[in-house]
Structure 1
C-alpha cells in the first residue's frame, strides 16, 4: 500500500510520479500505471478522483488486476511527472463519506437500523437502512445525533490491522478480508472497515442534512447531504423561497397557508370550468341533433382534442339512441376521428373507422358501438368525413 499516497495523506494534492506503463484497455481507452499515486480509484461506494498528470486530464481512475489505472486523454512523457488532484472534488467526497459513517452510526446506535448499502452521488448521498419503515421523528433524532458528533469535532483516524486485532474492536460489520484490514475510527463513536478517504475530524464534515426517504426493496433508502453540499442546497432552496415570497407577496411563515388557499381556489375554478364546458358541449350536441338528417351527424373541426370529440359524441348518442355520430378534427399535421352510435343505431363503428383509416395510413380501433383513431392529415377533415359517410351507407344499405 506504500505507493497509494492517498492512504498516507488524504490531504495530499500534488505529488511526483513516474509512468511504469501506458496501454489501451479492451474498450480502447488509454491508461497509465504509475510508481505511486494520490489518485483514489472508484471503490467502496466512493467515486474516483480527477485531476491532471503533467497537465493531461485524468478522467477516470480504476483498480484492476491489483494496479491503479489512470485513464488519460493523451500519452504521458517519459521521466518524472507531476500529479495534481482536483481538491474540491476530493474534499467533497471526504465530507460525504465521513458523513455517511456518522449518520449510519447514529441510525444504528439510536434506532437499531444498520446500513446495508451506500451510494455517493454527484448531488446527494443515499444509504439503505435495514428497516421496513421510518418515522419523521426517528429521522430527526438520528440527524440530531449525527450533527452532535460533528459539533463535538471528534478525531477521525485510520489503522491497518490484522484480523485478530480488528475483531477486538466494536466493528459495525465483519471484515470482508482477512489481512491488511483498514479500520476508520471516529473517536468513541464509530469503528468501520473502510478503504475510502476521510477528513481528520468530524468538524470538517460540516452539517449533515437528511433530504428525504422512500421504501426500496423492503428497506428504506434515505437521501442526505453533508458539508458544502448542504450549503449549496440551502442557497438554492432559499432562492426558491424568496421568489415565492415575492410572487405571493407574503411573509415566509404564511406561504403554506397562502398556497393552500390558492390551490383550493384553483380547484374550484377548474371545477367551474368543467361544468361550464359540459354545458357548452351539451348545447352544441343539441344543436347538431337539430341539424341532423336521418339521425346521422358528421361534423368537421379544427384543433379539438380527441377527449372533447368523444365527450361530444357521447352527449349526442345519450340524447338520441338512433343517432350515428362521425366527428373529425385536424390538429396540426394530425387528423383525429371519433365514430359512435346509439344503442338502437345500425352499423359497426370499429369496422367503419378501420376501413377509413386506410386512406390516411392511420391507426385506431374500438368496438361496434364506438371507435376512435387518427393519422397524418393527408385528407382534410371534411374529405375524411365524406369517405366515412360513404362507407357507412355501404355498410348499412
Structure 2
C-alpha cells in the first residue's frame, strides 16, 4: 500500500521514496510503484498530477488496488532512492478548481437547496451538474456572490480523518462512498464534505470564482460551467481579446457590439435573399433559353444540356423550372466534375414517362446511384465515359419510350 504524502501536505513539491515495483501494463506502458508518493492519482473528479521521477517525465498516475502507478515516458533504472518533483502549476490549479467547486456547490445548496450530483475538472473549464431543471440569472448571480464572499473571508479549509460512527457529528453535504479511512474537507460553518482530493489551506487561495454559463442536460439536470483562480484571469484575457477583435472588425465600441452584430446579421440575411432571388431569375432566363433550343420528337420537346462543375441544387431547380413552364417536354441535364458525372431528368406533368426509371436504367453505365420521383430524378457516378456519351445514352433511352 503506497503512503500518500499529498494527504499530509498538498503543498509538497519534492519528495524522496524507495522502489517497490517496476513493470509494464497491458498496453505496454512503463510504470513504477514507490513506497510513498506526493503524486495525486486520478480520482474524485480531479485529474492526476504530472512531474518527474529522477528527471524522467511522469505523464499519468493511477491508483490500482491500493498501489499508485507512476507512468513514465521511459523505463526507470533501479536506484536506492527516487526523487519526485510535482508540476506545481498544474497541482495548484487543480487545488484551486477543486476547492472552488466545494465552495460553489455548498453555496447552491445553502442558498437554494440545489444539490450537486457530479463534478468535472477539465483542462480549461470546470462544471458541476445540479439536480434541478432550471436556473435563473438572479440565482446564479446570488450564488456567485456568496461563493466569492467566502473566498474573500479567507476561511480555513481543514482536512480531518473520521470513523463511520463519527460522521453523525457533521452536517455532510452528501453521503460518503467509503466506510473506512474517511477523509473530510471542512470549511467551518459552511461546508462539510467527504473528499480525497487536494485543496489549499484557506479559501482565499482559490482567489475567485466565475460562473461562465449553464445549460440544460438530460434527466432534468442543469450543468454549470465555471472557472477559479488563475483561470478567471485567463478567461478574462481570452474574452477581452475576442471582444476587441470584434470591436475592430465591426468598427463599434464594446457597448454597441450586440446591436452592431444584429445589424450585420440582418443585412446579411437581406443580401442572401437578394442573391437567391437573382439566382432564380438567372435560372428562369436560362430555362427559357434552353427551351428555345429544345428538339422536337413525336410531338414532345426534349431539352438536352451539358454542364461543368455546376452545383446539383441549381441543376435541380433548372430542371423543375423548365418542366413547369411548358407542356409535353422532357429535360435531360448532365454535369461533369473532376472525377464524377451527375444527371438530372425531369418532365412536365402531361408526359407519361417515369423519370425515376429512366435514371436508374442509365446509372449502371457510370456505376452510379440515385433516384427520385416519377416527375424528377437525379443521380451520379464515376466518370467512366465522356459526358456527351452519357447524354446520348439518356436521349436514346427516352426516344424509345
Shorter-normalised TM range: over 0.9
Matching residue within 339, 343, 347 for 2:349: 343
Match of 2:200 in 1: 199
Match of 1:120 in 2: 121
Matching residue within 280, 283, 286 for 1:281: 283
SS of the residue corresponding to residue 36 of structure 2 reads coil
In angstroms, what is the RMSD of aligned CA positions? 1.5
Q: Which runs of 5+ in 1 are unaligned?
A: none
Q: Distance in 2 between matches of 1:383 and 1:106?
A: 75
2:376 pairs with 1:370: yes
What's the offset of the Cα at 1:299?
0.8
Closer, same or farther: CA 138–380 of 1 in aligned 2, 3 Å: farther
2:104 pairs with 1:98: no
Q: Distance in 1 between matches of 2:209 and 2:339?
A: 53
SS of the residue corresponding to residue 132 of structure 2 reads coil
Decide whether the 8 Å contact of 1:31 with 1:70 is kept in 2: yes
2:340 pairs with 1:334: yes
Closer, same or farther: CA 372–162 of 1 in aligned 2, 3 Å: same
Matching residue within 292, 297, 302 for 1:296: 302
Decide whether the 8 Å contact of 2:2 with 2:68 is kept in 1: no
Closer, same or farther: CA 376–140 of 1 in aligned 2, 3 Å: farther
1:16-39 Cα deviation digits (max 9, x unpaired): 111111122222222111011000
2:192 pairs with 1:186: no
Q: Which runs of 5+ in 2 are unaligned?
A: none
2:357 pairs with 1:355: no
What's the offset of the Cα at 1:187?
2.8
Match of 1:318 in 2: 324
What's the offset of the Cα at 1:316?
0.9
Decide whether the 8 Å contact of 1:53 with 1:76 is kept in 2: no
Match of 2:146 in 1: 145
Pick which of 351-360 and 250-259 moved more.
Answer: 351-360
Matching residue within 244, 248, 251 for 1:249: 251
What's the offset of the Cα at 1:61?
0.7
Runs ≥4 in structure 1, deviation > 6 angstroms? none
1:200-246 Cα deviation digits (max 9, x unpaired): 11111122111222221221112111111121111111111111121
Q: Distance in 1 between matches of 2:208 and 2:342?
A: 57
Match of 1:237 in 2: 239
Decide whether the 8 Å contact of 2:2 with 2:37 is kept in 1: no
Q: Distance in 1 between matches of 2:399 and 2:267?
A: 50
Q: Distance in 1 between matches of 2:189 and 2:93?
A: 24
What's the offset of the Cα at 1:2?
8.1
Q: Distance in 2 between matches of 1:54 and 1:3?
A: 19
Counterpart mapping for 1:39-50 below 5 A = 39-50=39-50
What's the offset of the Cα at 1:373?
1.3
SS of the residue corresponding to residue 27 of structure 2 reads coil
Decide whether the 8 Å contact of 1:56 with 1:76 is kept in 2: no
Closer, same or farther: CA 213–321 of 1 in aligned 2, 3 Å: farther
Please, what TM-score do these two structures have when normalized by structure 2? 0.95
SS of the residue corresponding to residue 308 of structure 1 reads helix
Q: Distance in 1 between matches of 2:67 and 2:260?
A: 60
Match of 1:379 in 2: 385
Match of 2:20 in 1: 20
Q: Distance in 1 between matches of 2:60 and 2:47?
A: 9
SS of the residue corresponding to residue 90 of structure 2 reads helix
Counterpart mapping for 1:264-279 below 5 A = 264-279=266-281
Q: Distance in 2 between matches of 1:212 and 1:386?
A: 61
SS of the residue corresponding to residue 281 of structure 1 reads helix
SS of the residue corresponding to residue 146 of structure 1 reads helix
What's the offset of the Cα at 1:290?
1.7
Q: Distance in 1 between matches of 2:390 and 2:208?
A: 66
1:100-124 Cα deviation digits (max 9, x unpaired): 1111111111121100011111111
SS of the residue corresponding to residue 117 of structure 2 reads strand
Residues matched between the structures, number: 395
Q: Distance in 2 between matches of 1:379 and 1:233?
A: 57
Please, what TM-score do these two structures have when normalized by structure 1? 0.96
1:322-364 Cα deviation digits (max 9, x unpaired): 2211112223323222111121113221222122221221211
Matching residue within 227, 230, 246 for 1:228: 230
